[in-house]
Amino acid sequence: MEKKSFSIPGISCGHCVNAIKTELTELEGVTKVEGDIEGKSVEVEWNTPATEDSIKNKLTEINYPAA
């Protein structure tokens, strides 16, 4: 399992975090997504076949690109 915190400057509210959680958990292999509104970040845990690149691509696709 891999785990990483992604800085997401576009996070401004709970809705943003929920949208990110919903989209990322749909990626095969993503096991956990925790959001931090004040820190403008999300912590993601995943296994294969998910990759850091696939997570970053999904974040960009949903208009919450990682910094």
**Alpha-carbon dihedral of residues 25, 30, 32, 33, nearest 10 degrees?**
-60
| CATH fit for domain 2-61, picks 3.40.640.10, 3.30.70.100, 3.20.20.30, 3.40.605.10 | 3.30.70.100
> What is the C-alpha separation between 16 and 28, in angstroms, rounded?
21
User: What is the Cα 7 distance to its own chain's centre?
Assistant: 9
pLDDT of residue 58: 98
The reported pLDDT for the residue numbered 48 is 96
Q: What is the rounded CA–CA span in Å between residue 16 and residue 5?
A: 16
pLDDT in tens, 2-53: 999 999 999 999 999 999 999 999 999 999 999 999 999 999 999 999 999 9
What pLDDT sits at residue 4? 98
Please report the pLDDT score of residue 61 as a whole number.
98
The pTM of the full predicted model, rounded to 2 decimals, is 0.94
Structure tokens at 58: 């999904």
